[in-house]
Amino acid sequence: MDRPRTSLTAIVLDTPDPGALAAFYAALLGWRVGTNDREWVSLRPEDGGAGLSFQLEAAYVQPTWPRADGAQQMMTHLDIEVDDLDDAVAHAVAHGATVAGFQPQDHVRVCLDPDGHPFCLYVEV
């Protein structure tokens, strides 16, 4: 049997406020807003690749980084390659991110978006 045509179109993050979280990532990545309603917002890169979407989850619980027994575990995270780690971290923080207290690698900075989703800014080594 031939494999059907497939195409990854987006990573979806749950959030109590899709519009606010989309605004954070739009500022962080410079992406444009596609679909925009109360329960679903999508961002798309200019190159047409896979984007990010944000769906309303009223019962959202922030993940814990690093993991902690009995706490909500991280299910996924985003890796974002940058040219200058210090500048990228400052840019993310200026738009509402926080830098996580635990940093496992020198060339990576784990940050938390306004809803607590971890994401990694890194420079290629």
pLDDT digits (tens, 9 = 90+) for 15-63: 999 999 999 999 999 999 999 999 999 999 999 899 999 999 999 999 9
pLDDT at 88: 98
pTM, full prediction: 0.92
Q: How far is CA 64 from CA 30, 69, 75, 77, in A?
A: 27, 10, 10, 12
Domains of the chain: 1-60 (3.30.720.120), 62-125 (3.10.180.10)
Strands 40-44 and 32-36: antiparallel
Length of the chain: 125
| pLDDT classification of 72: cutoffs 50, 70, 90 | very high
